[in-house]
Amino acid sequence: MNDPAKSTLTFVAAGRVALGLRRVAKQLESFAVREARLPSERFSATVRMTLQRAPHRSDELADDCIFCKIANKELPADIVFEDDELIAFNDISPQAPTHVLVVPKIHIPTVNDLGDDDAERMGRLVLCAQALAEARGIDGDGYRLILNCNEGGGQTVFHIHLHLLGGRQMRALG
């Protein structure tokens, strides 16, 4: 015989188990999303493959590139820093009291052309901008670093460069 009190209890218990399972599933799902967003060695296989097969490019100075010509001293620029790998100069059309371009000396057209080998080079680009910001006394107030990629990203000179902008309040993005 069916005891109505007993079947109600069974029904409630089953409901609780289902709720519990749904909660666990949700937690696993959000954990998976967080995992997928973690950088470094947890790069997804696809990202890792992309990094490894970054397009091959010439390390020669590109013939028609103004930033290669500046790096090669064929064109003048207001140079503020230089070493074997990098050159930094004031932007010809400054958008802020400090507007410096930090440029690798080898010709890399866009961010899309970067590969594993460039990790240290790009890190040095950022550290160079950081040092310049400190030297100009804008590090405390803050500054903006920008890398534009391709036309859609606003890139007009196709030799990678990091914009260092500071000395005025930047508008928030978006």
Closest distance of CB 62 from Zn ion, Å: 4
The strands making up 143-146's β-sheet, listed across from edge to edge, are: 79-82, 86-90, 98-104, 162-166, 143-146
- Applying CB under 6 A, does 148 fall inside the site for ligand AMP? yes
Catalytic residue among 56, 99, 159, 161: 161
d(CA 37, CA 18) in angstroms, rounded, equals 29
- Applying CB under 5 A, does 144 fall inside the site for Zn ion? no
Has 161 been annotated as catalytic?
yes
- Applying CB under 5 A, does 65 fall inside the site for Zn ion? yes
State the binding partner of 174 from Zn ion, ligand AMP, none, CB within 5 to 8 A by kind.
Answer: none
- Applying CB under 5 A, does 161 fall inside the site for Zn ion? no
Q: Residue numbers of the site for Zn ion (CB under 5 A)?
A: 62, 65, 67-68, 107, 159
Residues serving a catalytic function are 161
